[in-house]
Amino acid sequence: MSDMSKPIPLNTMKTEAPDNAFRFEDEPRSGRLGFLEILKIAWRSIRANMLRSILTALGVIIGVAAVVALVSVGNGVRQNVTNRFSSFGTNLLTIQSGQSGFGGPPGLVRGGATQTLTLADAEALRDLKDTRIEGIAPASQSNGQQVKAGSNNTTATVIGSWPDYEVVQNAEVQAGTYFTTDDVDKRRRVAVIGNDIVTELFPEAEASSVLGQSVKISNVSYDIVGVLKEQATAGFNDPNTNIIIPISTFSQRLERSEYKGEPTVRTITVKVADARDVSAVEADLTTLMANLHEKTSSDDYDFNIRNQASQLESVTAVFSTLTLFLGAIAGISLLVGGIGIMNIMLVSVTERTREIGVRKALGAKPRDILSQFLLEAIVLSCAGGLIGIGIGMVIAYFSTSALSVPFVVSIPSMVLAFAFSAAVGIFFGFYPARRAAKLDPVDSLRYE
Amino acid sequence: MSSAVLSLKNIKKAYVMGETEFWALKGVSFDIHEGEMVALMGPSGSGKSTLMNIIGILDNPTEGDYILRGENVSDLDEFDRAEIRNAYIGFVFQAFHLLPRLNLLENVEVPLTYAGYAPWVRRERAMDMLNRVGLADKWRNLPSQISGGQKQRVAVARALAMNPALLLADEPTGNLDTQTGNEIMGLFHSLNDEGVTVLIVTHEAEIAQQTKRSIRLRDGLLESDRGHEQQRPILHEAVFGGAP
């Protein structure tokens, strides 16, 4: 029939026309409906039933918004946790009392656990003089201590440690110095104070000008030897309200608990110089600690050693899984949205049976009708996808700021959600569209 | 006599209902020539609608040949049928069947759109057609904003848009009052005078009297085919028996 789709010879209406007159028969015809035309038809029918179209797309909107918001918030939380961990440094090993198996953050002491870690353990580690180890810092901690200077007072976290605290915790001084090993041995009352403590106790004073002044902790006076640099809030304490004092002074003046006659410490943190040695050092420390505590089986260990890197890995893995899981749940709602589109499209095909018949009588091919309805479904779901991305971003923005985690715009999750919604449109739009395309023109013209 | 626009040769159509076959058309043959105006008549059940669907290439005959403009179009798939309908047949329906969301100009453009003409070609041609039926000034209106007679005029403009070989009107005055109906018939007559070949399917004798030729069906067979100058009885060579 190829010759029949060419321009039809004009053989009726023999009106003599001038040469330059418009004759549509002379114009080129593609013999097929242009994509823009199909889009226009689809858009018109969406617009004609605006409320219904919006309600239909709502399933997809909610689905996509949920995916985008959840993934974004999930990523924000994950990034926040990652930030906290990396501010501790990833080549740290933290020794704590109690058996391992609890993946909490370092420094968090479990209630009820007997403190079996002692200063003697830390000294034994130091005596190894292992060159792979850059620093060792035992730490005891007292939260919510009232600190005074003159008439001003504030609350601080007082940490007893060794001078190595500086390298191990990346807690450098902006003014002054850390206390020395000698200060530790002689239990001197000296303190390195956080930046916020300065602001609270010595308003409008320069950091360097407070050196040599004294602060009172539990009515004991300490000389300020250093002021810590301002640090980003990381971990579960604000490092800017920390006061670091020699651990010997801490156990003498603030808190003293003993285990087998030795003062206990909450944690011993070891900084490994080269991140590649972390596992080897961890194994050696485990053996040494087991010997010190006279434990033969790992089931009896009364200590545990945490590796920051592997902990970070396991925490991010947990968050990734969680994010994926939530995303999958949101994906299901997207699927439900797709079924909604299919449902409405089926209704729409039935409703417009006569229109389909008329279009076919006027020369619409099955593929024209198929494209019209398919495109209608795709436009609905893609518009739903775009609106959903917008709403999801807004939700993510407000949730992340409420949770005070970073607002992470996850482009892949948006692209994925949008592609998925387009796929939903194609998948769930195809069956109704094919049904429309297959309608018999005679029957559909007669349809009331 | 001028050449045949369409030629039906022993057209038969069977519908299968369960195990029984029902022959709606039992062998119908006639020609329609260039520039003719023909009425197709018959009581319900005569096979009139079935024949109209076949002539309009909405359906294929079970047997027989349908030659349209020299091409045998009796055994085509839906894709080719759509193309032939688009290019050769202009439909006018009893219930107008304008698309409600499109304005009058866009309604007339529909067949041109499916033919794949460029937008400006469609627009120009559709405007010409609206002008031809006297509704060019209302091109922006929606079908709901105009009267029944005007709707049928737009439908005629749409049917003419592709300059079809045959204008096929199914009860074109059925939904109109007598006066408006007469106006529409007047439009058909003037189009016919301009050379458009018209086939009107109707059950109204008054309409049929206005045409130069009327074909009457009964029980799936030709009952009569009256030209305006002569009435000739149909001699059936059909397998299923002759005329009553």
Please report the pLDDT score of residue B210 as a whole number.
Answer: 87
Cα separation, A357 vs A432, whole angstroms? 15
How far, CA to CA in Å, does B181 sit from each of A31, A67, A339, B146, B149? 35, 60, 48, 16, 7
DSSP of B37-76: EEEEE--TTSSHHHHHHHHTTSS--SEEEEEETTEE-SS-
Write out chain B residues lying below 8 Å of A357, CB-based.
97
User: Can you list the alpha helix ranges (DSSP code H) found in A202-245?
Assistant: none
The answer to whether A444 and A357 are in contact (CB under 8 A) is yes
Write out chain A residues lying below 8 Å of B85, CB-based.
360-363
Does pLDDT of B209 surpass 90?
Answer: no
Domain limit, last residue, from A301, A326, A356: A301
Average pLDDT for consecutive 10-residue bins of chain A (448 residues)?
A: 41 46 78 86 89 90 89 84 71 81 47 74 88 91 88 90 89 90 92 90 84 89 91 69 92 83 88 85 89 83 81 80 82 86 93 94 94 93 93 93 84 85 92 95 89
For residue A39, tell me if it sits in a domain.
yes
Beta-carbon separation of B116 and A33 below 8 A: yes
Please report the pLDDT score of residue B236 as a whole number.
Answer: 44
- Element of type H or E holding A199: helix A195-201
Q: Are residues A147 and A294 in the same domain?
A: yes
**Of A376, A298, A302, A252, which Cα lies nearest the Cα of A114?**
A302
Q: Touching check for B96 and chain A: CB below 8 Å?
A: no
The answer to whether B88 and B166 are in contact (CB under 8 A) is yes
**What SS3 class is residue A131?**
coil
In this prediction, residues B63-80 reach a mean pLDDT of 93
Total residues belonging to chain B: 244
**Of A357, A367, A288, A366, which Cα lies nearest the Cα of A35?**
A367
Cα separation, B115 vs B118, whole angstroms? 9
Q: Are residues A368 and A424 in the same domain?
A: yes
Q: How many domains does chain A have?
A: 2
Interface predicted TM-score (ipTM)? 0.91
Q: Which of B83, B163, B195 sits opposite A4 (nearest CB)?
A: B83
Beta-carbon separation of A362 and B91 below 8 A: yes
Beta-carbon separation of A4 and B84 below 8 A: yes
Question: How many angstroms away from the CA of A60 is the closest CA of chain B?
Answer: 27
Q: Are residues A326 and A288 in the same domain?
A: no
Write out chain B residues lying below 8 Å of A8, CB-based.
87-88, 162-163, 165
**What SS3 class is residue A51?**
helix
In the beta sheet, which residues pair with residue A93?
Answer: A270, A307
Phi (first) and psi of residue B93, to 5 degrees: -105, 160
For residue A45, tell me if it sits in a domain.
yes
Q: Are residues A438 and A332 in the same domain?
A: yes
Strands of A229-308, DSSP E: 242-246, 258-259, 262-263, 267-272, 303-307
Q: Are residues A280 and A134 in the same domain?
A: yes
Please report the pLDDT score of residue A247 as a whole number.
Answer: 92
- Domain annotation for chain B: domains and CATH numbers: 35-57+77-232 (3.40.50.300)
Question: How many angstroms away from the CA of A357 is the closest CA of chain B?
Answer: 9
Total residues belonging to chain A: 448
For residue A393, tell me if it sits in a domain.
yes
For residue A277, tell me if it sits in a domain.
yes
The answer to whether A372 and A349 are in contact (CB under 8 A) is no
Question: How many angstroms away from the CA of B53 is the closest CA of chain A?
Answer: 7
Question: How many angstroms away from the CA of B77 is the closest CA of chain A?
Answer: 10
Q: Are residues A245 and A119 in the same domain?
A: yes
Q: Which residues of B173-189 are buried (b: 16+ CB within 10 A; e: fewer)?
A: bebbeeebbbbbbebbe
CA B227, B232, B235: angle at the middle one, nearest 5? 130
Q: Which of A27, A365, A442 sits opposite B82 (nearest CB)?
A: A365
For residue A308, tell me if it sits in a domain.
no
Mean confidence (pLDDT) of chain B: 89
Beta-carbon separation of B114 and A359 below 8 A: yes
Q: Touching check for B217 and chain A: CB below 8 Å?
A: no
Residue of B nearest to A15 (CA): B194
Write out chain B residues lying below 8 Å of A24, CB-based.
112, 117, 121, 124-125, 128, 163
Please report the pLDDT score of residue A107 as a whole number.
Answer: 45
Can you say whether residue B166 is alpha, beta or left, with left for phi > 0 and alpha for psi between -120 and 50 degrees? Answer: beta
- What six digits make up the tokens of B67? 């030659």
How much of chain B exceeds pLDDT 70, in percent? 92
Please list, in sequence order, all residues whose beta carbon lies within 8 angstroms of the beta carbon of residue A216, skipping any fewer than 6 positions away: A147, A148, A149, A222
Higher-confidence position of A175 and B111: B111
Please list, in sequence order, all residues whose beta carbon lies within 8 angstroms of the beta carbon of residue A347, skipping any fewer than 6 positions away: none
Question: How many angstroms away from the CA of A64 is the closest CA of chain B?
Answer: 31
pLDDT tens digits along A65-123: 988 888 888 888 888 887 777 666 678 888 888 775 544 444 444 444 578 888 889 99
Kindly list the residues of chain A whose beta carbon comes within 8 Å of any beta carbon in chain B: 1, 4-5, 8, 10-15, 22, 24-25, 27-34, 37, 44-45, 48, 354-355, 357-368, 441-442, 445
What pairing do the DSSP bridges indicate for beta strands A214-217 and A258-259? unpaired
Please list, in sequence order, all residues whose beta carbon lies within 8 angstroms of the beta carbon of residue A72, skipping any fewer than 6 positions away: A392, A393, A396, A400, A407, A408, A409, A410, A413
Domain limit, last residue, from A301, A330, A357: A301
Q: Are residues A292 and A320 in the same domain?
A: no
Please report the pLDDT score of residue A85 as a whole number.
Answer: 72
Q: Which of B101, B111, B194 sits opposite A362 (nearest CB)?
A: B111
Query: Domain residues for A405?
Result: 33-81+315-446
Cα separation, B61 vs A32, whole angstroms? 26
For residue A341, tell me if it sits in a domain.
yes
Q: Are residues A146 and A184 in the same domain?
A: yes
In the beta sheet, which residues pair with residue A310?
Answer: none
Q: Are residues A249 and A137 in the same domain?
A: yes
Question: How many angstroms away from the CA of B237 is the closest CA of chain A?
Answer: 29
For residue A27, tell me if it sits in a domain.
no
**Of A381, A129, A124, A441, which Cα lies nearest the Cα of A262?**
A124
Phi (first) and psi of residue B225, to 5 degrees: -140, 95
Cα separation, A302 vs A286, whole angstroms? 11
Q: Are residues A294 and A354 in the same domain?
A: no
Beta-carbon separation of A13 and B112 below 8 A: no
Please report the pLDDT score of residue B228 as a whole number.
Answer: 53
Question: How many angstroms away from the CA of A78 is the closest CA of chain B?
Answer: 51
Q: From the centroid of its chain, how far is CA A177?
A: 37
Burial of A238 (0-12, 13-18, 19+ CB in 10 A): middle
Q: Touching check for B148 and chain A: CB below 8 Å?
A: no
Cα separation, A167 vs A270, whole angstroms? 10
**Of A256, A418, A259, which Cα lies nearest the Cα of A334?**
A418
The answer to whether A298 and A147 are in contact (CB under 8 A) is no
Please list, in sequence order, all residues whose beta carbon lies within 8 angstroms of the beta carbon of residue B181, skipping any fewer than 6 positions away: B173
Cα separation, A411 vs A408, whole angstroms? 9
Kindly tell me the number of DSSP H helices and DSSP E strands found in chain A: 13, 12
In the block, tokens 């980003």 appear at A232
Please report the pLDDT score of residue A11 as a whole number.
Answer: 38
For residue A106, tell me if it sits in a domain.
no
pLDDT tens digits along B161-172: 999 999 999 999
In the beta sheet, which residues pair with residue B213?
Answer: B38
Q: Are residues A227 and A154 in the same domain?
A: yes
Cα separation, B104 vs B183, whole angstroms? 19
Test mutation, B86, B89, B110, B198, chain A, max A CBs within 10 A: B86
In the block, tokens 């943190």 appear at A269
**Of B123, B180, B127, B125, which Cα lies nearest the Cα of B149?**
B180
Please report the pLDDT score of residue A72 as a whole number.
Answer: 87
Q: Are residues A293 and A326 in the same domain?
A: no
Domain limit, last residue, from A275, A301, A327: A301
Please report the pLDDT score of residue A448 as a whole number.
Answer: 76
Kindly tell me the number of DSSP H helices and DSSP E strands found in chain B: 7, 11
Q: Touching check for B169 and chain A: CB below 8 Å?
A: no
pLDDT tens digits along A296-352: 887 778 888 888 777 777 778 888 888 888 878 878 888 888 899 999 999 999 999
Please report the pLDDT score of residue A234 as a whole number.
Answer: 53
Task: With 0.80 as the threshold, say if the pTM is over it.
Answer: no
Angle in degrees, 0-180, between the axes of helices A35-48 and A366-402, rounded to the nearest 10: 60
